[in-house]
Amino acid sequence: VVPRRNHSAHANSCACRASMASFCVTAKAMASAASPAMAPPSGGRVLKRVRLGDSSLQVSEACLGTMTFGQQNTEADAHAQLAYAWERGVNFLDTAEIYPVMPMRETQGRTSEYVGRWLRGMRREDVVVASKVSGRSVGLAWVPANRVVPRGEEENPKLDRKSIRLAVEGELRRLQTDYIDLIQLHWPDRYVPSFGRQQYDPSNEWEAIPFEEQVAAIQELIDEGKIRHWGLSNETTYGVMQHCMAADKLGAQRPVTVQNQFSLVHRLFESELAEACAPSNLNIGLLPWSALAGGALTGKYLNGAMPEGARFSQFEGRYDRFNTPRMENAIKGYLKIAEEAGLTPAQLGYAFCRSRWYIPSTIVGATSVEQLKENLESFVDLDEDILKAIDEVHIQFRNPSLTD
């Protein structure tokens, strides 16, 4: 696979996609291209606008994560966060058909519905909306059923042509929009180790939907104008390359982003996957999720603490990989660095992501406007002494959130 320009955008024809391509710059320029946003009316730090991978999208360097909307946050809470983020210059939102978290039959899809009702009051072209299609799963049969009205038959999610189309159309309905700017495959159709595991076990393999079928389904939706660009999530170097090769074979658009776990305590991306996604190669931007390790990097769970209403308290067992002795030791090291730098722990975690050349925009989550205010003050430059101190802790406690 060789570096190649993508010329697909929100269009109903090849001619329209070609006209959108005129707004693109070269691959290397895309990685560094950034334009300052207007200063937010309420004061605070200015968020830059950056080009999202090899795409036509200009997004804020902070992306508002919404997975708490509908579970930990009411619709009024959600709209308050959306309004504040917009006021501060955030034009990039990330949702998913399976949200909110924890995924449940009773609440699935509620997050995008909340976002959709907020979008009705906005100029649609001003907001960059990302969503995600659920990958292959057992035990989530109610997700495909909720893609249509009235509810359809229950079946386990997979990434075949029909499922991708119905998932996108279901999100269009919930978001009350004609198109989605960035659709992402939430996790692969094939087996991959994830959520704290990195060791590959061939005995867990199953017959997966071919990469070409997945890419072809996405390209059909691009051609119809229902999505502008697409990306991957929870993906490996092998998977990224296979999707790109399938796109090249079909003459389709390549993925422009990959949304993977990345933080001070989970830096697996920065080796061969960073090389593959570099601007000089595939030019695929990393959108990090769990930049604060489920909130653990704030220090609020140290010494066995379980604050009422916090994620670890509400969803027992789900975040155990962030609550181990190795994690505690690493977190204490990062807390000391934050204190000496005059930053909150959350600000250090987000600022570290901002410092990485392969990250165009960092997903920021919050359960209150006050949390969001703190988090959006995180987009500052870290000096070399701070970055060196971070690496020293990393070398001592390398990727402590891994469980194997």
| Annotated active-site residue in 84, 99, 179, 319 | 99
Assess whether the previous peptide bond of 100 is cis (omega < 30° from 0).
Answer: yes
Specify whether the CB–CB gap between 393 and 336 falls below 8 A: no
d(CA 344, CA 123): 34
Q: Residue 228's closest CA among 367, 321, 131, 300?
A: 131
* Residue 301 annotated among the catalytic residues of the structure: no
Chain-centroid distance, C-alpha 257: 9
Strand extents, DSSP E, 7-90: 34-36, 48-51, 58-60, 62-65
Output the CA torsion 175→176→177→179 (10° steps). Answer: 50
How is 356-375 classified by DSSP, letter by letter?
-TT-S-EEE--SSHHHHHHH
Report the amino acid identity of residue 179.
Y
Backbone angles phi, psi at 225, to 5 degrees: 80, 10
DSSP state, residue 190:
S
d(CA 80, CA 97): 21
Would you please indicate which residues are annotated as catalytic (active-site) residues?
99
